[in-house]
Amino acid sequence: MRGRIFFKLLLAFAAVIAAATLTVDLSLRRAWEDSLVHEIDRNLTQKTLLFAHRVDSDRQHSLADIAREEGQAAGARATVIDHQGRVLADSESQAQTMENQGRRREFMAALDGNIGKEMRRSERLKIPFLYTAAPIAGGAVRLAYPLSDVQAATQSVNRTLLLASALALLMALILAGIAAQSTASRLQKVVNFAHRVASGDLSARLQVASFDEIGLVARALDQTVHRMEENFALSQNRQRQLETLLNSMQDAVIAVDEQGYVQWANRGMDRLGPRTRMGLPLIETVRDPDVVRAITAAREQRRVEIARASSLVPGRNFDVTAAPMPGGGVVAVLRDLTETERVEKTRRDFIANVSHELRTPLTSIQGYAETLLDSTPASDHIHEFLDIIRKNAARMSRLTEDLLTLARVESGEQRFDVQPSPPGDLLHEVVESFGTMAQAQGVELLIENQADTAVSADREAIHQVFANLVDNALKYAGGGGRIALGARRMGNMVEFYVQDYGPGIPSEHLPRLFERFYRVDKARSRESGGTGLGLAIAKHIILAHGGSIRAESELNHGSQFLFTIPVASSAAAALS
């Protein structure tokens, strides 16, 4: 790894240095050549102008002598031509042997009155020349400077530049190798650090003193791993606390992942049978179909599922609550209800038995008290005592009847004759039963609206619910002047209501209205003969029908009791 980083960095440095060296070499060589040629051209132009001036002004020497002297002074070949291009004099050849020069570009420019210049290779000497021509009276002069010296100087400079570039490249490569080695070594430390962290060693640390980019990255990684170590330790601590808490629970807890494999189970789960095996499919660990069905439904539908399991452990019943987890799995809590149900059944049986046993002596006491009342003068103080005995016996008799009714409804022993029933019929039966009583108390009992959809209900049981609600309205809210009944369709339910316009119920009492023996006004309830069980009985009857019941109230604006009953199916409705 370290070698690969070193060679990559070295190759990158070498490529950059080579490119820079080549660029500098080419640019310097081109600049030097351009500068040299420019200087030669400038000097040659000045000498050509001096040559032209001497030809125009020197009358003591011949053109051949002037051409020879100026050519030697300029180190170039001097030529004089007339306006027709014929050579009049040349420093290196006989004029009469030379061809017409009028078509040469530099002479053409000079014959037009300008300084003519051209660079071309001599056909005879095979070397490049720089030609510069200037106009004179009746013709033009020209100097031809050989550029072979320039080529030789350029080659010498090229060799010098090449040697200097090679030395610079070698030194740069040495420095680049040192820098690459240092950088590769530091990067290798970061890589080794990352490997240690990836393998789970969060105690690894990077000691970097530099403040360049690699140093900043190293410090950032070091701080990140330090925070990861702290967070991991905190997470492990919380996990241990959670495991301790879950293992201390009496309820069994099991967690599965999104594929349905067991992830975790507490000791309560292990106590239900063979030790739970992690990493296996749920169906291989839990053999109860109700538990598997609830967990599968919660995992697939992503909602809380509640079920009852009775075959997980023989003779024991469990309440199963399965809830989806954010990661895609499901956690399920299994609560053993066996002892609770046994105690609840014992309580119901006790209440039912005691109530049943009290019916006979209470009936006897009430009968004998009424007999003695009939034979005792009303003026006798014994008559008052006997009347108190009769009233309390009657109240205890009602209490035992309500207790028996509530016990039968709670235990499921009471069977309901559910039939499709029109809501209007149920409401009219209530008005017929309580209309006279309401009129006697100066209260108007009326039906506001009624749904047209039949409901699945036991008419006698629902009439008992209405009886409890209307009786309470007459007792506690009769001063409102009227009581309204009604029914309305609410999706797959029909909602019935009993609305009074009395003083209302304080909000703190609403959540407990349907508890056993709970009274808002205890003294008034006893005076009216109430047992405190009417609303509890109504609640369990409605729950047995698959509905719900609730109360709404506002002080000085009356109270409203509402309950729902499922709509009858079309097949059941057709039977009515």
Encode 80-111 in three state secondary structure: EEECCCCEEEECCCCHHHCCCCCCCHHHHHHH
Q: According to CATH, what is the number of the domain 340-411?
A: 1.10.287
String of DSSP letters for 170-205: HHHHHHHHHHHHHHHHHHHHHHHHHHHHHTT-TT--
Distances 508 to 9, 415, 501, 512, 520 between C-alpha atoms, Å: 78, 35, 19, 8, 10
Nearest to 142 by CA among 44, 228, 230: 44
Asked if 268 and 254 count as a contact pair (C-beta separation under 8 A), the reply is no
Which positions ≥6 away from 480 have C-beta within 8 Å?
A: 443, 500, 501, 502, 558
Contacts of 449 (CB under 8 A, 6+ apart): 486, 487, 488
Distance CA 388, CA 376 (A): 14
- The answer to whether 505 and 559 are in contact (CB under 8 A) is yes
Which tops the pLDDT comparison, 566 or 177?
566
Q: Write down the domain spans for the chain.
A: 12-152, 249-336, 340-411, 419-575
DSSP-derived secondary structure for 16-43: HHHHHHHHHHHHHHHHHHHHHHHHHHHH
Query: Beta strand pairing status for 419-421 and 455-457?
Result: antiparallel
pLDDT average, residue stretch 302-316: 81
Q: For residue 60, how many other CB atoms are within 10 A of its CB?
A: 6
Please answer whether residues 319 and 310 qualify as being in contact, where contact means their C-beta atoms are separated by less than 8 angstroms: no
Selecting from 3.30.420.40, 3.30.450.20, 3.40.1280.10, 3.40.50.2300, what CATH number does the domain 249-336 have? 3.30.450.20
Judge contact between 122 and 21, C-beta under 8 A: no
Residue 52 has pLDDT above 60, yes or no: yes
Band of pLDDT at residue 408, cut at 50, 70 and 90: low
Q: Alpha-carbon distance 180 to 574, whole Å?
A: 92
Does 473 have pLDDT greater than 80? yes
How many angstroms separate the CA atoms of 178 and 336, rounded? 74
Beta bridge partners of 146: 129
Q: Which residues, 6 or more positions from 89, have their beta carbon under 8 angstroms from its beta carbon? A: 62, 63, 64, 66, 67, 78, 79, 80, 95
Q: Which residue has the tokens 């407990």?
A: 512
Asked if 473 contacts 446 with a C-beta cutoff of 8 angstroms, the reply is: no
pLDDT tens digits along 249-307: 677 888 888 888 888 788 777 777 666 777 778 777 777 888 888 888 888 888 888 88
pLDDT for res 246? 64
CB of 194 closer than 8 Å to CB of 221: yes
Q: What is the DSSP letter of 281?
A: B
pLDDT tens-digit map of 112-139: 888 888 888 776 667 788 889 989 888 8
Check whether domain 419-575 has CATH 3.30.565.10, yes or no: yes
CB 421 within 8 A of CB 457: yes
**Residue 424 is encoded by which pair of tokens?**
């209007």
The residue with tokens 């309950």 is: 563
Cα–Cα–Cα angle for 348, 350, 351, rounded to 5 degrees: 65
For residue 463, give the amino acid letter: H
Same fold, 12-152 and 249-336: yes
Edge-to-edge order in the sheet of strand 252-256:
262-265, 252-256, 330-336, 318-324, 305-309
DSSP string, 43-69: HHHHHHHHHHHHHHH--SS-HHHHHHH
pLDDT at position 570 over 60:
no
Task: State the Cα–Cα distance between residues 187 and 209, nearest whole angstrom.
Answer: 14
**pLDDT for residue 353:** 67
**Least trusted range by pLDDT, from 232-246, 432-446, 450-464:** 232-246
296 CB burial (10 A radius; 0-12, 13-18, 19+): middle
- Quick one: pLDDT at residue 399? 67
What helix, strand, coil percent values describe the chain, rounded to 5? Answer: 55, 20, 25
| Residues ≥6 apart with Cβ < 8 Å to 63 | 55, 80, 88, 89
**pLDDT at position 565, please?**
92
Question: What CATH architecture does domain 12-152 belong to?
Answer: 2-Layer Sandwich (3.30)
Interval 182-189 mean pLDDT: 72
Q: What is the mean pLDDT of the chain?
A: 78
User: What letter does residue 558 receive in the DSSP assignment?
Assistant: -
Residue 10: predicted pLDDT: 63
Q: For the segment 494-553, what is each residue's pLDDT rounded down to a tens digit?
A: 999 998 888 888 888 888 888 777 776 654 545 555 567 778 888 888 888 889 999 888
The strand pairing partners of 331, in sequence order, are 255, 323
Task: Give the DSSP letter of residue 433.
Answer: H
